[in-house]
Amino acid sequence: MTKQSRKDTILTAALACITDVGADATTIEMIRERSGASIGSLYHHFGNKERILASLYLEGLCRYAERLDGNLVAAADAAACIGALVTSYIDWVVENPDWARFILHSRGRIEAGEMGEQLKNSNREHYVHLQARLNTFIDEGCFRDLPPECFASIIVGPAHDMARNWLAGRLNKHLADYRELLAETAWIAVRATPDQSPQ
For residue 21, the domain's CATH number is 1.10.10.60
* Residue 118, SS3 per DSSP: helix
pLDDT for position 2:
43
CB atoms within 10 A of CB 169: 6
Domain count of the fold of the chain? 2
* Co-location of 100 and 143 in the same domain: yes
Residue 70 inside a domain? The answer is yes
The answer to whether 113 touches 50, Cβ cutoff 8 Å, is yes
Residue 199 inside a domain? The answer is no
Cα Dmax for the chain = 65
Residue 196 inside a domain? The answer is no
* Co-location of 149 and 120 in the same domain: yes
> What is the domain range of residue 1?
1-47
Residue 140 inside a domain? The answer is yes
* Co-location of 144 and 185 in the same domain: yes
* Co-location of 90 and 109 in the same domain: yes
pLDDT for position 196:
62
Residue 198 inside a domain? The answer is no
Q: Which residues contact 139 (CB under 8 A, 6 or more apart)?
A: 199
pLDDT for position 1:
37
Residue 17 inside a domain? The answer is yes
* Co-location of 96 and 159 in the same domain: yes
Measured CA to CA, the distance from residue 77 to residue 61 in angstroms comes to 25
Spans in the chain with pLDDT lower than 50: 1-3, 197-199
* Co-location of 23 and 79 in the same domain: no
CATH number at residue 118: 1.10.357.10
Total H helices, total E strands in the chain: 9, 0
Residue 172 inside a domain? The answer is yes
* Co-location of 6 and 79 in the same domain: no
* Residue 43, SS3 per DSSP: helix
* Co-location of 34 and 68 in the same domain: no
Tell me which residue of 187, 86, 199 sits closest to 138, measured CA to CA. 199
* Co-location of 65 and 115 in the same domain: yes
Measured CA to CA, the distance from residue 81 to residue 101 in angstroms comes to 25
* Co-location of 65 and 41 in the same domain: no
* Co-location of 115 and 136 in the same domain: yes
* Co-location of 36 and 93 in the same domain: no
Q: What pTM value is reported for the model?
A: 0.90
Beta bridge partners of 111: none
